Each structure stands twice: as structure tokens, then as C-alpha cells.
Amino acid sequence: MNPTQSALPDPALESLLAFWADGGVDAMLLDAPIDRIEAGKFVPPPPPTRKPVVVAATTRPGQPDIGAVMAQAQAAAAEAQDLAQLAEAIAKFEGCPLRFEGAARQAVFSRGRADAPLMVIGEAPGPDEDAQGAPFVGRAGQLLDRMLAAAGLTDRVFITNSVFWRAPGNRSPTPAEQLVCQPFVERAIALVQPKMLLLVGASSAKSLLKKDDGILSLRGRWFEWRSSTGDLELPAMPTLHPAFLLRQPAAKKRAWVDLMTLTERLDRPERPA
């Protein structure tokens, strides 16, 4: 349909487009249908013979060497002696492809208390975060802040993401993109030294916990997060992403139960040594 022929008023159309973008839709269907079954019967001619290209064993054509990129990230993260240095190292890091594919302005690292007892780890920055340079500052972030305030956690959290650059079309980050950012996330945990982690959204939970289960299965359960070196272990709870709660308000009750369960454990007196 031609946009000028739409019966929707402009605000409603913009709201609909924003809803689709928030859900990860970044492409439009064609006006005319295509019979994919019939098209699949066509056998293309073989490509012309070309001289083979020798590629190093540690790389794939058009892709970076993940091992080398991770080594660079680990070295840069290890040199950071405080959060300011870590933020600077992330801003300079060029190993994550999102820096050049989705981010329009800057790296988005963190906000919150530097010695917080609770670290909140989301998935990836969105357009508002990319513009302001801080995580969870858009509509989803405002809902998260209201939930944290209601739970008495406003000044007790450090907030970051599993990757630090916006993904194209606001899609979820890939495991490879999260993997190259992992050393920076782990270094942030080591510097802040929280008592526990709140993993917000499926991508964050799967990446940090190395799980394949869906977020509806993971949420509200306690897991032990362990660093890649094995020298750090923390209790971690996955929960629903506030962007999902904006689309499914009925699910807010489950997220609130998760937050209450976490807060109760956070405030539980420590056992004497």
C-alpha cells in the first residue's frame, strides 16, 4: 500500500512503526506475492570457474578472527583499573562489528552506583541509549527505573548491557557479538563487586548463563554465574525485559515477583563466618 493511501493518521502510523521496530522488524514485504516453491524449482547455472582463494585457518571470509578479537578485548579490559578506564577502553575498542553496523553515535557502557550490591545486565542499547550514551534511558528504561524504585533499589544498582553498541534494526545481539564484549562485562563485574546479578531479557540470560532455554523458563530462578576464568561466582536471576512488559502488561506481575524474590535475598542478613 502506498503510504499516502493509508487510512491511519500520522501518529498512529508512527506508533505502529515504532512497535514493529521494537519487535525487531527491519524489512517490509513486497507488494506482489512470490511463489517461493515455484521459484525454488529453478536451477541456476554453475558459477564460472575461479582460482581458489586461500584463507587462513583461523578466519572465515568476511569475518574477523574471533579468538584474536577476544584476546584484544581481554587485554584491554585487564588494563582498566577502574570503571572510567574501562569505559574508555570500550569506547576505543573496534573488535565488535556493532560499532560500525548499528551504532550511530557512541558506545553505551553504564550508569549507576560504582559499588552497587546489584548489577543489572540488559541486552543491547536502543536508539535513545545510543543518543544519550547511557543504558536503559528510553521507555523500557523508564519502566525499569520505576520498578527498581518501587523495590527500594534505586541507589543500589549498577546498570550495563551484554554489548555496548546498538544493533541494526534494534535486533537482539548475536552470541558472537556478546562473546567479544564478554571480557568487558566480566571486568565490570570484577570492579563493581556486586553481591548478585539481575539478567534482563533472553539474550542477556542466555549469554551470561550459557543456557539455551527461553526466558519464560529461566525467569525467576536462581543460577550461579561464573566468569570465564572461574575465579568469580555470583548468584544470578534472569527476568523479563521491560520492553517485553510494555508490549505485554499482564506479564509485569511475574517480573515484579522476580524482583521481590531478588530483593529479599539481597537484604537477607549474611551468615556469620
Return d(Cα 63, Cα 183) in angstroms, integer.
20
Residue 181 and residue 96 in contact, taking contact as beta carbons nearer than 8 Å: yes
Question: Which grid cell is 12?
Answer: 498512529
Strand runs (DSSP E) across 151-222, as ranges?
157-161, 196-200
Residue 169 placed within a domain = yes
Domain count, the chain: 1
pLDDT digits 0-9 by tens, 113-154: 999 999 999 999 999 999 999 999 999 999 999 999 999 999
Question: Which grid cell is 32?
Answer: 506482489
Edge to edge, what strands does the sheet with 233-239 contain? 111-112, 157-161, 118-122, 196-200, 233-239, 223-226
What are φ and ψ of residue 22, in 5° steps? -65, -30
Residue 197 and residue 234 in contact, taking contact as beta carbons nearer than 8 Å: yes
What are φ and ψ of residue 56, in 5° steps? -60, 150
Residue 158's domain is classified under what CATH number?
A: 3.40.470.10
Residue 221 placed within a domain = yes
* H helix count then E strand count, the chain: 12, 6
CA 65 → CA 79, 149, 165, 176, 180, distances in Å? 22, 43, 19, 11, 10
Residue 52 placed within a domain = no
pLDDT of residue 163: 97
The pLDDT profile of the chain, 273 residues, written as one tens digit per residue, is: 454 444 445 666 666 666 666 555 555 555 566 565 655 555 555 544 444 333 333 344 455 688 899 999 999 999 999 999 999 999 999 999 999 987 778 999 999 999 999 999 999 999 999 999 999 999 999 999 999 999 999 999 999 999 999 999 889 999 999 999 999 999 999 999 999 999 999 999 999 999 999 999 999 999 999 999 999 999 999 999 999 999 999 999 999 999 999 999 999 987 665
The per-residue DSSP string of 131-164 comes to: HHTSSS-SHHHHHHHHHHHHTT-GGGEEEEESSS
Query: Range of 131's domain?
Result: 66-266
